[in-house]
A and B are shown apart, each in its own frame.
Chain A
Amino acid sequence: MADFLEFTIDKFTFRVATDRWYNDQGVWAKPEGGRVRVRLSDFVQQRSGDVAFAEVKPVGTTLALGDEVAVIESIKVNVSFSSPVGGKVVESNPAMKDSPEVVNQDPFGEGWLAVIQPADWAADSLKLLDAQAYFGRMKKEAEEEAKKL
């Protein structure tokens, strides 16, 4: 079970799991037995709003670090998310097709996007943010968003 950093602003609470790495967009990567699971951070899924559609790159797709791994259409935005790791997609969450709302309902469980067989995780991970660094960035973004309300 992961530990979390937590930040509350207004009526929103955002959690950042400490056992994984994050890219600038808030897509996180978690190594699991030689593979890497990819999904959206809690902050990103809450900020995006309810997801209407999610399209994830299919199994077999080869991605470079930063390539598009998924496109999410929510009630607020359409966003293309870049992969935090390069490699081959070995699992694409089938739930994204029929019940993409799991992105919002279970951001730390069933709401994952893909599992990637990394080409060079050691190198890619150096380009990502650790949980503490991402937490600071997320907190700043959340505060800026709150000022707009």
Chain B
Amino acid sequence: MNGKKAASPRTKVVIVPCSGIGKSYGTVSREAAYDLTEELRPDAAQLVPLSLLVLGDAEARAAVAANPAISIDGCKLACATKMVKESGGTVAKDFAVLDVYRRYRQFKPQGIAELNEQGRQLARALADEAAQVVDDLNAGGKSG
């Protein structure tokens, strides 16, 4: 989370990545979320950590409840998507890292604490796709 606390502007799309530790795909989901919220669309998207939703943090839940959400799941348990729904939010688009990898086979992620270069590229590709969804949502469109 880079020490950042979830912001709660009511116009920002919420990004909720997987919080799984110990698997490359979970790391890709988080790196993609950082790319999206810190570099690609810092003014249009905000990161809400899954852990805060699990803990029932009021500010995080309010952000999720008040804004469209994009969940990024590292595995088929889809914890991020489930927690957005359980927190009263609406999932505008759910990304699964494995599905994204199937579209970018050249970017095979490896490493956990530190992704390999391909993993970084996969995270960026995912972030680019999510940025498009953010743009669509802010333009008034619906994603699915």
Contact = CB atoms under 8 A, between A and B. Distances in A.
Interface of A: 50, 52-53, 75
Interface in B75-101: 75-76, 98, 101
A75 B102 contact: no
Given A75-B23, A75-B25, A75-B98, A50 B105 contact: no
Contacts of A53: 102, 105
B102 A50 contact: no
Nearest to A101: B98
Interface string B6-25: 00000000000000000111
Interface string B23-53: 1110000000000000000000000000000
Contact of A52 (B23, B75, B76, B102): B102
14 contacts: A50-B75, A50-B76, A50-B98, A52-B98, A52-B101, A52-B102, A52-B105, A53-B102, A53-B105, A75-B23, A75-B24, A75-B25, A75-B75, A75-B98
Contacts of A52: 98, 101-102, 105
